[in-house]
């Protein structure tokens, strides 16, 4: 079956005033939809037509002649993950198991916030900033354009989209203000904890 554009986990106006309804309608309804449609067009009639996005990404990542498909599939997956990385009830200090991991890795919450903010704000051009688990350790990292941690042996826990279309209608060129709003008002720590618990369950089951 063709891939479908997933619904947002909240209403278009649910993240206001930090991310506007206008931004989400364009970002989700046009940009994300275009990535899904382009992926479907690229896999039509191929052996990938019944595969999930992670399976498609894994099969074409960094392969010659597959860059267009990788970019559209990677962006489709990244965007779906990003929507869940935000919540109307989000923001503020991390909580739960991920909080404990953050303090262990970054010393304190403020230090983590500085690392994440600096990574997101200083990333040149279009891309993403991520909190990931790598070799069972937390790490803040960035990816350019459509690249994604799932091709690097990393487990993403949370992400922010720093392509201009994610924030320009609301913040113009003030990326730093958008990143601050994400951390203080939107970051979905429940989602980050779900991702952390899932990988810990999978690791335990494999032992």
Q: Check: CB of residue 9 under 8 Å from CB of residue 188.
A: no
pLDDT value of position 203: 79
> Does residue 7 belong to any structural domain of this protein?
no
Chain center to CA of 14: 18
Strand partners, 137: 134
Q: Give the number of other CB atoms < 10 A from CB of residue 91.
A: 18
Kindly give the parts of the chain with pLDDT less than 50.
Answer: none
**Number of domains observed in the structure of the chain:** 2
Helix (H, G, I), strand (E, B) or coil at 147: coil
Q: Return the percentage of the chain with pLDDT > 90, whole number.
A: 94
- Residue finishing a domain among 84, 106, 130: 84
pLDDT value of position 204: 80
Q: Check: CB of residue 182 under 8 Å from CB of residue 160.
A: yes
> Does residue 47 belong to any structural domain of this protein?
yes
Ordered strands of the 127-134 beta sheet: 137-144, 127-134, 155-161
Look up the CATH number of the domain holding residue 125.
3.55.40.20
pLDDT value of position 61: 94
pLDDT value of position 200: 86
pLDDT value of position 144: 97
pLDDT value of position 178: 98
pLDDT value of position 135: 92
79 and 111 housed in the same domain: no
pLDDT value of position 46: 94
Look up the CATH number of the domain holding residue 28.
1.10.287.990
127 and 184 housed in the same domain: yes
Determine the structural domain holding residue 42 and report its residue range.
21-84
DSSP state of 62: T
65 and 152 housed in the same domain: no
pLDDT value of position 206: 78
pLDDT value of position 201: 87
Q: State the DSSP H helix or E strand holding residue 137, giving kind and residue range, or none if neither.
A: strand 137-144
Q: State the DSSP H helix or E strand holding residue 128, giving kind and residue range, or none if neither.
A: strand 127-134
- Residue closest to 18 by CA, chosen among 172, 169, 178, 165: 178
pLDDT value of position 185: 98
> Does residue 13 belong to any structural domain of this protein?
no
DSSP state of 166: G
34 and 64 housed in the same domain: yes
């Amino acid at each position: 079956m063709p891939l479908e554009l997933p619904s947002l986990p909240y209403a278009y106006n649910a993240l206001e005033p930090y991310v506007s309804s206008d931004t989400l309608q364009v970002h989700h309804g046009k940009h994300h939809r275009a990535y899904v449609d382009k992926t479907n067009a690229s896999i039509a009639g191929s052996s990938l037509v019944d595969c999930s996005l992670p399976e498609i990404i894994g099969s074409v990542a960094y392969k010659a002649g597959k860059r267009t498909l990788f970019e559209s599939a990677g962006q489709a997956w990244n965007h779906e993950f990003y929507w869940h990385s935000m919540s109307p009830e989000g923001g503020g200090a991390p909580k739960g198991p991920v909080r404990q991991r953050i303090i262990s890795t970054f010393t304190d919450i403020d230090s983590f916030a500085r690392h994440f903010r600096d990574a997101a704000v200083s990333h040149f051009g279009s891309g993403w900033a991520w909190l990931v688990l790598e070799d069972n350790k937390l790490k803040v990292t960035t990816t350019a354009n459509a690249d994604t941690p799932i091709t690097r042996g990393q487990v993403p826990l949370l992400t922010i989209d720093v392509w201009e279309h994610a924030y320009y209608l609301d913040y113009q060129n003030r990326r730093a203000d958008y990143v601050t709003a994400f951390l203080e008002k939107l970051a979905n720590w429940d989602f980050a904890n779900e991702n952390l618990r899932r990988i810990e369950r999978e690791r335990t089951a494999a032992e």
